[in-house]
Amino acid sequence: MEEQALDLKSWLRVARRRWLLIGSSMVLGLAGGVAYAWANPVLFTSQALVLVAPSPTNRPALAITTQAEIATSQAILDSAGAQVTPPLGYAVLQRRIVATGITANILQITASGTTARQAKELANAVATGFVTYATSGAASPLGPTAGTGTAILDRATTVVAPSPWHTPMLGLVGALAGLLVGTLIALLAGPGDERLRRLEDIETAIGAPVDASLSLRARAEPSDWFDLLLRWTPGIESAWLIRQILDHMADGQSDTDVVVASLRGDRTALALAPTLAASAAAFGIPTTFIVETDDESASSLREATATLAADSAPRRPNLRLFETDRKRTPSSAKTIKVTAVVLDPREPRRPAANRANTTWLALSRGFATAEELARVSRGTAARRQPIGGVVVVNPVLDDPIAAGRPARTATHLPRANGAGRPVPGRMRDITTDATR
């Protein structure tokens, strides 16, 4: 049972990654089934019965199977096809006419037509043609086929209509065949892009809850970071979500000392740490922001922070900036310290000197694989600095987790100068002003 569950999960992962391929195959299969149904419609059918009289006692009677072959011979079918509108040729009538001996002397003729009238006319025309042939001198070279007593026993008067489920059923069969073919191709094509996009998958891989999701934009130049760290402030709705993230990170501590880690090359997620620091300062909370990484992907942020850390640099109220961690002066007021680090997913090592009270991971949707996240989780846990929560950047908008989940109750952060508003009861994705 466990192996079956694992196989099902593997199939579901493949289906999620290659849903476009599988869906396209199903649509093509559905279209093919419907097209086949239209090209080969189920026809109306009608039946006539012919009584085949026994032959004279001095002549052997032909078997009923031979009579059926005579009834579907080209001469009889050509004659019958000429009597219907539009006329039908022998090639078509070969598929439309079936003669069957149901007893030793009763021949059943079943005719199919595109309309009820055509089906009845064909059945009666073939029956009439057979009787004419059997009772005429044309049959004499073969011997008496049925004698002069051969006659139509029951003319075709009733019609069986085609099933209305014919086209839908063939469409369903085609869709199922497309599903099978698409899945087979997806499995044979290999795992494909295994980077995680759904918040549920990210939670499972990292082993930590996704507590928030928001939209940010990557900042490439030092001037972009200057603008964020010196002037940017969140809008009203954005402030709700960012306040909630900060409350979660505080986790009951009098001073919030948090490391916000991002993965190498994830430039969009790198913006979370300075965004949180700038927001906290805008809320009137004394905040320290530190860049503790030498990774190349954070070079512009490190350069901007180093420039603003100089004594002569412009200042933002409530925000102190350091390029690397420094021991800060004790303060009686509640403060926030945000340290930005960058982890290599192949060898995730946090600076050993940094012992924050919590570590969070900022991750862009579709950036990392499950294997990379598992390696990050193991690496940070081995250094006794495990990931305590995840903020997903630019999530899938229809992801059920992104739409909202119960928030932890945490309202201990100071609300200086009346800044901040009550935390909403459920978390929700908000495109923050940081995307501007």
Over the stretch 287-307, which tens digit does the pLDDT of each residue have? Answer: 999 998 888 889 999 999 999
Of 118-122, 127-131, 223-227, 252-256, the range with the lowest mean pLDDT is 252-256
Q: Residue 10: inside a domain, yes or no?
A: no
pLDDT single digits (tens) 97-118: 999 999 988 999 999 998 999 9
* φ/ψ of residue 130, rounded to 5: -65, -45
Q: Is the peptide bond before 395 cis (omega within 30 degrees of 0)?
A: no
**Together in a domain, 109 and 218:** no
**Together in a domain, 356 and 418:** yes
Which CATH number characterizes residue 95's domain?
3.30.70.1130
**Together in a domain, 183 and 126:** no
**Together in a domain, 268 and 300:** yes
Rounded CA gap, 292 and 294, in Å?
7
Domain boundary among the residues 100, 135, 154 is at 154
**Together in a domain, 222 and 369:** yes
Q: Residue 115: inside a domain, yes or no?
A: yes
Q: Residue 159: inside a domain, yes or no?
A: no
**Together in a domain, 33 and 48:** no
Q: Residue 393: inside a domain, yes or no?
A: yes
- Residues 335/357, Cβ–Cβ less than 8 Å: no
Q: Residue 170: inside a domain, yes or no?
A: yes
Domain extent, residue 241, equals 199-435
Structure tokens at 406: 């119960």
Rounded to two decimals, the pTM is 0.53
**Together in a domain, 250 and 173:** no
**Together in a domain, 138 and 211:** no
Q: Residue 8: inside a domain, yes or no?
A: no
**Together in a domain, 106 and 250:** no
- What total number of domains does the chain contain? 3
Q: Residue 2: inside a domain, yes or no?
A: no
**Together in a domain, 304 and 377:** yes
CA terminus-to-terminus distance, the chain: 50
Q: Specify the 3-state DSSP secondary structure of 204.
A: helix
pLDDT single digits (tens) 180-198: 888 888 777 655 567 888 8
**Together in a domain, 35 and 53:** no
**Together in a domain, 110 and 36:** no
